Amino acid sequence: MSSKIFNLKKPEDVSTANVELVGLIGGWLVARETGIRPLGGVVLAAAGVWAGRSWLAKTNPATTAALAALYVGAFGASHPLAKKIGAWPSVLAVTAVSSGAACVLSDIKKND
């Protein structure tokens, strides 16, 4: 019997673009559907930590910091952008930019 409670994927094997999708879109949906904004923040933060673990394993500290800043910035940018183009389009736009960057700078690079 294994003493591990969870068998986590190695950080190098995690698709961080997908994790960002869950964090940004999932966090927004959780906050919207429950009416508890901090609960959406928990989803956002958990996904950010999970992605950051993989960015650090796959890239370097500078790239990890840049991707983390972009992820947090995407969350921050979605709020004023939502006032201009609507909530769904805003969340989708910032998620596309942030997860696209993660894909190019971390996920695809790992497979080269």
Q: What is the pLDDT of residues 34-59, one digit of tens each?
A: 999 999 999 999 999 999 999 999 99
Answer yes or no: are the C-beta atoms of 40 and 87 closer than 8 Å. Answer: no
Helix (H/G/I), strand (E/B), else coil: 21: helix
Helix (H/G/I), strand (E/B), else coil: 107: helix
pLDDT at 69 over 70: yes
Helix/strand/coil percentages in the chain, nearest 5:
85, 0, 15
Taking the complete model, does pTM exceed 0.75, yes or no?
yes
- Alpha-carbon distance of 66 to 62, in angstroms, equals 6
